[in-house]
Amino acid sequence: MNSEETITKASVEDIDRIIHEPARLNIMLYLYVVENADFVYLLHKTGLSKGNLSVHLQKLEANGYLEIMKEFLNRKPHTMVRLTQRGRDAFTAYRESLLNILQ
């Protein structure tokens, strides 16, 4: 194997589909800069329906990309969300990957 062959080609195959879905990409973009967000904040920012947002958050959590913390605030349920380090890394990797492909 010579040096030319070791150049890794930016590959569409290894796009992270969990992040690639626009609804979740949007969520990740907000969480990446905000660090801490609650359900209602994301609801308004993303424009997703509640059911939709709920399911996408669960999927991101199932992949270890974020943490969902439930508490009661003024006697009402309150859902806080933040990216895990894994989620943060996955997002930067996704970004690098796509920039490589498109540039």
Partner DNA sequence: AAGACTAGTTTATGTGACAAACTTGTTTGA
Partner DNA sequence: TCAAACAAGTTTGTCACATAAACTAGTCTT
Strand residue runs (E) in 9-85: 37-38, 66-73, 76-83
CA–CA distances in Å: residue 51 to residues 9, 58, 59, 70, 81: 38, 11, 12, 17, 16
Tell me the one-letter amino acid at 34. Answer: V
> Kind and range of the H or E element at 53?
helix 50-62
Judged by CB under 8 A, does residue 98 bind its own copies? Answer: yes
- Tell me which of DNA, its own copies, none is bound by residue 84, counting a contact when its beta carbon lies within the kind-specific cut-off of 5 to 8 angstroms: none
Partner from its own copies, DNA, none binding residue 44, C-beta < 5-8 Å depending on class: none
Residues that bind DNA (CB under 7 A): 17, 21-24, 38-40, 48-59, 68, 70, 74-79
Residues that bind its own copies (CB under 8 A): 12-13, 15, 17, 20, 22-23, 25-26, 29, 47, 95, 98-99, 101-103
